[in-house]
């Protein structure tokens, strides 16, 4: 069985913090010993529980759902320190500034790739290359963003698009353009980044996209990234563009045809 946020009434957009038993990844219950605890805050939330056919001859365990009341509403369930798929380097990476005052101009780094985004209940934030835009462990929606790359080389640029809850895929845009939404309580359920241009092959895109439930997905140029069910919402992204390792010599392919045809003549036995 899998448990995830269900698309439904936009008002049921409560923030969910979760802890879970090892191996469930915060979403999948495989046997009777698995458990997921979800703490819903600020507003109601709708959950989708999907059951899959058990193996033939094996009795599926009974699903039990308990609602627990908290004596102290302000008390929070501590999130898992690092998502199951985090690496230590990812977990220790700096997070973007929490918010920017409305009257303060947005400043970005003159070097590398920067991200400007709008975070649920936080507002606008900026992340330099190598920083997270958003907080992977907060569960807050990263509702939209734009990439800024003032020093990008000639004939290469970054294109990106997202899939928005209730609206579908957005138009693909390039650096300097906003993608997503602001203040509409819409979830980004999929994101795609692509290096484009005649010199795109000289560079490689590296990064990670984090989705609710503790899921992290490596970012690869041209490939969409999403949570396992496609319903998880984007919480944070981190990007960098590096020079591709083009000078490494590849081992010769023994199946490649030789440029010169060789003819061997067998000797006759006397």
pLDDT confidence of residue 148: 92
Residue 194 neighbours by CB distance under 10 Å: 18
Nearest to 20 by CA among 80, 86, 67: 80
CA distance 157 to 267: 62
Token pair for residue 115? Answer: 């991200």
* Entry pTM: 0.55
Alpha-carbon distances of 80 from 12, 37, 40, 127, rounded to whole Å: 24, 11, 15, 23
Write the CA distances from 123 to 52, 71, 85, 186, 192, integer angstroms: 39, 31, 27, 14, 23
Low pLDDT (below 70) residues in the chain: 1, 3, 6-10, 12, 24-27, 30-32, 51-109, 245-270
Cα separation values, 70 from 41, 47, 73, 76, 79, Å: 11, 20, 6, 9, 16
Per-residue pLDDT, 47: 74
CA distance 129 to 109: 8
pLDDT number for residue 262: 53
CB 135 within 8 A of CB 95: yes
Contact 166, 187 (CB under 8 A): no
Digit-coded pLDDT (tens) for 10-22? 676 777 777 777 7
């Amino acid at each position: 069985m899998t448990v995830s946020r269900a698309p439904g009434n936009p008002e049921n957009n409560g923030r969910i913090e979760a802890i879970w038993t090892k191996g469930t990844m915060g979403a999948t219950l495989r046997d009777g010993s698995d458990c997921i605890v979800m703490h819903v805050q600020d507003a109601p939330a709708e959950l989708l529980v999907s059951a899959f056919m058990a193996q033939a001859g094996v009795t599926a365990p009974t699903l039990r759902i308990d609602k627990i009341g908290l004596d102290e509403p302000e008390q929070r369930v501590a999130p898992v320190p690092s998502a199951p798929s985090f690496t230590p380097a990812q977990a220790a990476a700096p997070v973007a500034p929490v918010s920017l005052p409305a009257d303060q101009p947005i400043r970005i780094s003159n070097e590398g790739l920067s991200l400007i985004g709008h975070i649920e209940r936080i507002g606008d934030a900026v992340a330099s290359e190598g920083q997270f835009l958003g907080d992977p462990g907060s569960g807050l929606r990263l509702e939209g963003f734009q990439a800024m790359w003032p020093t990008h080389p000639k004939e290469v640029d970054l294109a990106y698009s997202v899939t928005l809850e209730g609206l579908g895929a957005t138009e693909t845009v390039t650096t300097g353009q906003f993608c997503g939404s602001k203040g509409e309580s819409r979830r980004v359920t999929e994101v795609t980044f692509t290096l484009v241009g005649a010199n795109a092959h000289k560079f490689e895109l590296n990064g990670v996209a984090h989705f609710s439930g503790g899921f992290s997905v490596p970012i690869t140029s041209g490939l969409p990234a999403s949570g396992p069910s496609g319903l998880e919402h984007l919480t944070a992204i981190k990007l960098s563009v590096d020079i591709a390792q083009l000078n490494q010599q590849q081992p010769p392919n023994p199946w490649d045809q030789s440029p010169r045809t060789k003819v061997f003549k067998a000797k006759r036995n006397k």
